[in-house]
Structure 1
């Protein structure tokens, strides 16, 4: 009897992971506007009750889907670098180049939307946005040269990347040359050249 229960729990966890991956793919294609339970269920060929069965509530579903999405993006960014610490200007140049890649653009769109919704206090995005800022600044700090100013520099880099992403979404091409100019400022500040 105990083995059967364990098998059932394992199967439910497997099915939930599978659903989460499919939901991430859907959100990357369609955006956060698709996060209504009925719309999600219809797109997946299931019922909203089944989604509640696997996630208990919409907040858990949204949190898990966005956690998986962020995890995928962190893997992509981690794979793009060799893990070495670099000067902030070099990091900025690399981050902006990575953000322009077609496979990364949908992630950036969703994460900008999460931050915007969270900034307006929309649940559950408010807590997720706060965690997102924390995890991204931690990631950036782990990739830039360590100095006393690293915490502030990490936030500045995140603000630049996020701001440029939003501006590019609103008006493609408007930030042409801005990343290079800002990277140059950061490099001069650190006494290095690009």
Structure 2
């Protein structure tokens, strides 16, 4: 049972509840998520948490949507990059920014759970992926690419960024440098792909 003090500091509106739950899950992760400590952190009980969100799956789905909305909103507000090469660097800087970093880690975690077909991950991650890719396509378009090239490159970037994110926790300082080199290589590859597309070359 939360203390009177904690209850007084509990979120108010539905959006505040979603934001508070999302902040907690970003800090603690999805795997092994337990409602009781989450409820305590939000100044309520696990029963009230279920009352507010419906059930645990609905709570997780709302957290994932809220987190993804934060990330896509951040990317949608980025100015266009100088060229496709710069766009890759700018997008990686965006997913590494404190405002997005936790959201991107949560996306990767949910995507891994989706591999087992587990709900609500299977359905919600598909939604998240479509919204995220749309934001990336829009940024690539603002950076000088046409629609088909932007869509093709967004698929490559999504896969590469997830792979780099999975490698990050395993690396030390040198590992971080390796990731920086990998992003530079990815940017060069995207630049080459964009030039081939503009020239009408296959590949």
Q: TM-score, normalised by structure 1?
A: 0.80
> How far apart, in 1, do the equivalents of 2:96 and 2:81 lie?
22
Match of 1:108 among 85, 104, 111: 104
Q: Give the distance between the partners of 1:41 and 1:51, measured in 2 at CA.
A: 6
Bigger mean CA offset, 102-111 vs 65-74: 102-111
Alignment of 1:1-194 (within 5 A): 14-33=12-31, 35-79=33-77, 81-82=78-79, 84=80, 87-144=83-140, 145-171=145-171, 172-173=175-176, 174-191=178-195
Runs (5+) with no aligned partner, structure 2: 1-10, 197-203
Cα distance in 2 between the residues matched to 1:159 and 1:137: 11
Instruction: Return the alpha-carbon distance in structure 1 between the equivalents of residues 164 and 182 of structure 2.
Output: 8
TM, length-normalised to structure 2: 0.77
The Cα offsets for residues 163-187 of structure 1, whole Å up to 9 and x where unpaired, read as 1111112324242311111211221
What CA RMSD, in Å, does the superposition of the two structures yield over aligned residues? 2.3
- The whole-number CA distance in structure 2 between the counterparts of 1:124 and 1:170 is 28
> Which residue of 1 is the match for residue 7 of structure 2?
none
The structural deviation recorded for 1:34 is 5.8
Distance in 2 between residues matched to 1:97 and 1:152, nearest whole Å: 20
Task: Give the Cα separation in 2 of the matches to 1:72 and 1:78.
Answer: 10
Aligned to 2:200: none
2:44 partner SS: coil
